[in-house]
Amino acid sequence: MAEVVEKYIDFLTNGTAEQIADLYAPDATVEDPIGADVRNTREQLVEFYSIITNMDERTATLKWKKIAGDTAVFEFTLVTGTSGMRFEITPVDIMVFDADGKIASMRAVWQPGDLVQL
């Protein structure tokens, strides 16, 4: 699980939406942020992560992580930018893993006011 969290952070900075989606189980769910519509197909995951991976600038930095049982909780800072505008957000993600080490569910804890223009 720790390795998957590290890959997730690396792929947010250097990877593709497809690489991020590959970390998820086929029937995984993503609720980002909590309260948003749940994404539950690979196509929806690729579309969602493409928003980040298509940015001109993107840097994700892991702040901390805790792992227990089948669950990883971690906080990271994501800085993105395009067209001369830059934004920063620091969500806390909660990932539950399946028996194969794939992400079965991810819920992101943040609210719109947490997104800061730099």
Q: For residue range 30-83, what is the model confidence (pLDDT) as tens digits?
A: 999 999 999 999 999 999 999 999 999 999 999 999 999 999 999 999 999 998
Q: pLDDT tens digits for 11-37?
A: 999 999 999 999 999 999 999 999 999
DSSP string, 44-60: HHHHHHHHHHTSSEEEE
CA-based torsion, 42, 30, 77, 75: positive or negative: negative
Give the H/E segment covering residue 76: strand 71-82
* Residue ranges of domains in the chain, CATH in brackets: 1-117 (3.10.450.50)
Res 70: pLDDT: 98
Q: Rounded to two decimals, what is the model's pTM?
A: 0.95
The residues annotated with a catalytic role in the active site are 8, 32
Name the residue with tokens 């089948």.
70
Segment 92-101, tens digit of pLDDT: 999 999 999 9
For residue 84, the model assigns a pLDDT of 87
